[in-house]
């Protein structure tokens, strides 16, 4: 079992390194650089850079406001309260809220030292630069998670394939309710896990902007919602008809061919031919047969939408 994670290790090393560098440079309150590093090490490269920029900008803003307030009303708790009353709303307005806490801690150094000299302003800025800079430097290394995303893809496709094959069996009269309930739960967890990893992978690519895995997970999530909707129809099927077997056959075929690289064009054509077959058949003779055929027709519409989602994903992938 892993006791110390990579982020914990980077945080510990980074905080110590930041304090050492600040001390070597002769900065006052060097431990503040370590605290800033602790708060700045994030799960992704992009997040670390964004937060570092926000905190640096908020520090400049905080020092500017505090200098004016301390100059006018002195170094006292009331002045610090006035500073916060002005600073916090401005950070919200400028989308710099990530820097409220650390910037205000740096301002307290000016309050304690009762000085806004160039020495202290430079001291606080350098503490921020060192702390945030060390975090960015450490976050340049992020382990590859492509393999785990691929594992999620295989899991998702396996669950979807099994669900569609079960639907085909249920159309033929078999009862697989308990197994399907478990499959849907497992599929939901696999999509959630895959989506989290896909977004983390996206935010770890600073130079390139490869959204493939994010697009893939979004596509599968949309298909999952369609499957849940289709699943609700099964309680309404109560007749075994020639049309039911035809729908079962095409559902089984879609399940067997479900794969990341399947362009689905052939499957969509199969569905269109089945629609035409239904239209050419004689009209239902009883109310029950009419209702059942209508539900089968809706089920086919859902299957077509399921495949169209995949075709749209392929089209977008080619245009990215």
In order, the DSSP letters of 100-150 are: HHHHHHHHHHHHHHT---HHHHHHHHHHHHHHHHHHHHHTT-----HHHHH
Does the pLDDT of residue 270 top 70, yes or no? yes
CA-wise closest residue to 57 among 140, 128, 123: 128
Instruction: Summarize the confidence of residues 96-100 as an average pLDDT.
Output: 90
Band (pLDDT 50/70/90 cuts) for residue 238 is low
Q: What pTM does this model have?
A: 0.71
Instruction: Summarize the confidence of residues 170-192 as an average pLDDT.
Output: 84
pLDDT per residue as tens digits for the range 143-172? 778 889 999 999 999 999 999 999 888 888
How is residue 242 written in tokens?
A: 């020639």
For position 189, what pLDDT does the model report?
A: 95
CA-wise closest residue to 55 among 127, 1, 123, 7: 127
């Amino acid at each position: 079992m892993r006791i110390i994670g990579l982020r914990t290790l980077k945080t510990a090393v980074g905080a110590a390194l930041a304090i050492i560098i600040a001390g070597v440079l002769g900065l006052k309150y060097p431990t503040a650089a370590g605290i800033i590093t602790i708060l700045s090490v994030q799960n992704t490269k992009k997040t670390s850079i964004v937060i570092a920029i926000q905190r640096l900008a908020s520090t400049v803003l905080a020092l500017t406001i505090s200098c004016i307030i301390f100059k006018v009303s002195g170094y006292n708790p009331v002045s610090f309260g006035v500073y916060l009353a002005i600073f916090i709303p401005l950070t919200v307005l400028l989308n710099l809220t990530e820097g409220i806490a650390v910037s205000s801690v740096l301002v307290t150094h000016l309050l304690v030292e009762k000085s806004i000299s160039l020495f202290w302003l430079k001291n606080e800025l350098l503490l921020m630069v060192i702390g945030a800079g060390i975090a960015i430097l450490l976050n340049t290394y992020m382990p590859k998670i492509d393999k785990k995303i691929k594992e999620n893809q295989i899991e998702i496709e396996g669950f979807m394939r099994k669900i569609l094959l079960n639907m085909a069996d249920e159309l033929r009269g078999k009862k697989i309710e308990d197994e399907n309930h478990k499959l849907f739960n497992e599929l939901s967890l696999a999509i959630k896990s895959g989506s989290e990893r896909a977004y983390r992978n996206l935010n770890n690519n600073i130079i390139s902007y490869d959204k493939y895995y994010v697009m893939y997970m979004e596509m599968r999530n949309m298909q999952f919602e369609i499957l849940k909707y289709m699943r609700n129809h099964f309680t309404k099927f109560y007749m075994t008809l020639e049309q039911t077997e035809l729908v079962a056959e095409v559902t089984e075929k879609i399940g067997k061919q479900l794969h990341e690289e399947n362009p689905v064009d052939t499957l969509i054509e199969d569905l269109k031919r089945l629609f035409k077959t239904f239209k050419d058949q004689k009209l239902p003779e009883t109310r029950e047969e009419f209702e059942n055929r209508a539900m089968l027709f809706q089920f086919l519409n859902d299957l077509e939408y399921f495949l169209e989602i995949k075709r749209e994903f392929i089209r977008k992938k080619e245009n990215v």
